Amino acid sequence: MPKRIGVLTSGGDCPGLNAVLRGVVHAATARDWEVVGFLDGYEGLLSPVQYRVLDKRSTAGIMHLGGTILGTTNKGRFVAKVGHGGKAVLPPEIIAEAKETLDGLGIDALVTIGGDGSLSTSVQLQEAGINTIGVPKTIDNDIDATSMTFGFDSAVTCVVDALDRLHTTAKSHKRVMVLEVMGRYAGWIALHGGLAGGADIILVPEIPFHMEKVFEVIKEREAKGAQNTMVVCAEGARIGEDDYITKHKKAAGEARLGGIGEVVADAIAENTGKDTRAVVLGHLQRGGNPTALDRILGTRFGVHAVDLIAEQKYGHMVSYQNYLVGDVAMEDAVSQLKLVTKDHQIVQACREVDISFGD
């Protein structure tokens, strides 16, 4: 009997997921293994079990497509993260049913493509005796033990494109533009997107900011003749020691952030008298075609996940360090988030080119 492996995409989607799936299928097919793709994340493992057999034909022509051909969810019965980063233990009956499904289908190992929350689920499955290999996915780039996740570059490219567009209108109207971007509790998207897109002020969760400082920077710029100011604000940015700002109602699962951009824009308008507009970039950052880098990373990650199965390195996650694809113990990767540090080289470079962090 040929070896059978399972694969699923879980959590928020991002560009590059299909490249990973195609990479997994090609590498597995080369070893004469069969690939079963579960639908809608881990949910496909539970009754009514939903899957489709993936082969080279069904994964042809998908690498450049955003989203995931398997579907995904960041809700449901396998959620391992709740509130603002709190951990949840999966009910034993859910794990038992997932194990039964995999055993019933003769699946030897499961490739789980997901972010911090989904890989925390994977760790729990591994502990329960299910052979898992993780692939780090998220636009937020907040998974520890990998210098990059796929999806991040595409999101940053989207931010830069938005800033390029906002620049021209901000300049014409002599306005302040506040662009709110995703990233949850990490400021990577704001930091990279803001630097590449020519932002004047970048607000990230890791560097609490002060509104007074933001007003001051805008006024100083005006005094020096700059009539427009571009502010990039991460959705998780915090004013001083204040809590996260969110306009979304509390719900089960992970907390939703969003709304800080408008709060900042309103305060700027009121204090500086500048015509100010807020733009929320939202899910545009998650949609669309992956960049070349994300197609390459995705393919390499998918191929390496199959190599790890061949080596029976279960409980490991594919990682990327110094341009090389390797692997780390999945538990180490999810034990903490990878956050921007105040003295990070990129933060320093931003300060050198007169970008303020509002601190």
Give me the residues paired with residue 36 across strands. Answer: 6, 53
Applying CB under 6 A, among 115, 134, 187, 193 the residue interacting with ligand F6P is 115
Applying CB under 6 A, among 101, 118, 122, 138 the residue interacting with ligand F6P is 138
Question: At 239, is the secondary structure helix, strand, or coil?
Answer: strand
Rule CB under 6 A: is residue 261 a binding residue for ligand F6P? Answer: no
Q: Give the nearer residue to ligand F6P in terms of CB position, either 91 or 282.
A: 282
Q: Residue 163: name the closest of 255, 30, 285 by CA.
A: 285
Cβ contact 325:318 at 8 Å: yes
Applying CB under 6 A, among 5, 6, 12, 72 the residue interacting with ligand F6P is 12
Applying CB under 6 A, among 6, 114, 136, 183 the residue interacting with ligand F6P is 183
Q: Give the nearer residue to ligand F6P in terms of CB position, either 81 or 300.
A: 81
Q: Give the nearer residue to ligand F6P in terms of CB position, either 107 or 160.
A: 160
User: Who contacts 312 (Cβ-Cβ below 8 Å, separation ≥6)?
Assistant: 131
Q: Environment class of residue 243 by beta-carbon count within 10 Å: exposed (0-12), middle (13-18) or buried (19+)?
A: exposed
Active site residue 332: no
Give, in order, the Cα–Cα distances in Å from 76 to each of 42, 94, 146, 275: 9, 11, 27, 43
**Residue 184 CB, nearest approach to ligand F6P (Å):** 5
**Residue 151 CB, nearest approach to ligand F6P (Å):** 8
Applying CB under 6 A, among 81, 286, 316, 338 the residue interacting with ligand F6P is 286
Cβ contact 76:86 at 8 Å: no
Rule CB under 6 A: is residue 182 a binding residue for ligand F6P? Answer: yes
Q: Give the nearer residue to ligand F6P in terms of CB position, either 156 or 303.
A: 156
E-strand stretches of 193-294: 201-203, 229-234, 276-280
Rule CB under 6 A: is residue 139 a binding residue for ligand F6P? Answer: yes
With contacts defined by CB under 6 A, name the span among 182-190, 199-207, 300-308, 348-356 that binds ligand F6P.
182-190
Strand order in the sheet with 201-203: 201-203, 229-234, 176-181, 276-280
> CB neighbours (10 Å) of residue 29?
16
Query: Which 46-85 positions form the footprint of ligand F6P (CB under 6 A)?
Result: 74
With contacts defined by CB under 6 A, name the span among 22-30, 48-56, 181-189, 326-334 that binds ligand F6P.
181-189
Diameter of the chain measured on Cα atoms: 75
Cβ contact 98:131 at 8 Å: no
From the candidates 116, 140, 200, 294, which is the catalytic residue? 140
**Separation between Cα atoms, residue 211 and residue 239, nearest integer Å:** 7
User: Who contacts 120 (Cβ-Cβ below 8 Å, separation ≥6)?
Assistant: 80, 81, 87, 334
Place of tokens 């959590």: 11
Applying CB under 6 A, among 34, 140, 200, 294 the residue interacting with ligand F6P is 140
With contacts defined by CB under 6 A, name the span among 48-56, 138-146, 196-204, 330-338 that binds ligand F6P.
138-146
Rule CB under 6 A: is residue 10 a binding residue for ligand F6P? Answer: no
**Residue 12 CB, nearest approach to ligand F6P (Å):** 4
Kindly list the catalytic residues: 140
Q: Which residues bind ligand F6P (CB under 6 A)?
A: 12, 74, 115, 138-140, 182-184, 235, 256-257, 286
